[in-house]
Structure 1
Amino acid sequence: MLLVLLVGIAPWSIQTYTSGSVTFLFAWGLFTPSPPSATTITDFFLRFTLGLPDYILVWPLGVACYLVALASVVAGFVFDHEDVRLTVAGLACAGLTQLEVARGFSLQPGRTALPLGTVLLWAVAAYFYWSRAR
């Protein structure tokens, strides 16, 4: 359960700009360290929805997939009844959505996005698949 929780608080995408600034995309929102600012995912989609590109719209879908995986792990911890298929599928799908988010950000001039979440989510999914799905 700890691995799934940790991957949920790690940055899922890191956007770097040619100006030297950095923005971290988390499951909960965006954070820019300089100057420090944070935007929650709910603020992003409820307040700043005008003209959002398609690739960013998969971000909340990835969060929903992650929450499915988290619910499966919590059910295993609390009720001793985890469906590993749900855990693995949720993590794998969340990783796929973050790959699309990073790809979309990287297509913008002066910006590069590193899909850290994809790597982490897929690694945890692979761990669950190989260690528990036998």
Structure 2
Amino acid sequence: MSVLGALLAIPWSVQVFAVGDATFLFAWGLVNTNPPSVTTLFDFLFVYTRGLPAYILAWPLSTLCYAAALASAAVGWRTGREDPRVTAGLLVVGAVAQFRLAWGFSVQPGRTAWPVASVAFLAVAWWGYWPVLRQSVGR
């Protein structure tokens, strides 16, 4: 559960621009280095940006998947009745969505995006849930 919660602290995607600037995208918003600024996910989607490209929608989708995985783990921790297939599946879907987001940013000229959350989500799913899933399949 704590490893799953720690995913809030890491940037989910890091976009590096040819001019040396960077943008760090988190579940809750993004942080730009030049000029130094913070934009929440809500503001990005509903205030500052109109006509978003389709790949941007992977950001709120991955956030929803992560929130649902966190809720699944929390309920499981509280009640002792977690279905690891649900939690792991939500992490995998979130990882795919974050990869799609990073790919969408990377095809823009002068920008490279690194899907940090994709790697982190898959690592947590594998490390935290694969042993349990493997046991349930082997029954």
| TM-score using structure 2 length | 0.91
Report what 2:9 is aligned to: 9
The answer to whether the Cα contact below 8 Å between 1:68 and 1:86 also exists between their aligned partners in 2 is no
Q: Which amino acid aligns with 2:31?
A: F
The answer to whether the Cα contact below 8 Å between 1:16 and 1:22 also exists between their aligned partners in 2 is yes
Report what 2:108 is aligned to: 108
Q: Which amino acid aligns with 1:125?
A: A
Report what 2:42 is aligned to: 42
**Distance in 2 between residues matched to 1:83 and 1:36, nearest whole Å:** 42
| Offset, 1:5 | 0.5
Larger radius of gyration: 2
Of residues 104-113 and 7-16 in structure 1, the stretch that sits farther from structure 2 once superposed is 7-16
Gaps of 5+ in 2: none
Displacement over 3 Å in runs of 4+: none
Task: Render the CA deviation track for 1:4-60: whole Å, top value 9, x for unaligned.
Answer: 111132111000001100000111010113432100001111112312111111110
- The count of aligned residue pairs is 134
Report what 1:123 is aligned to: 123
Percent identity over paired residues: 46
Report what 1:22 is aligned to: 22
The answer to whether the Cα contact below 8 Å between 1:12 and 1:98 also exists between their aligned partners in 2 is yes
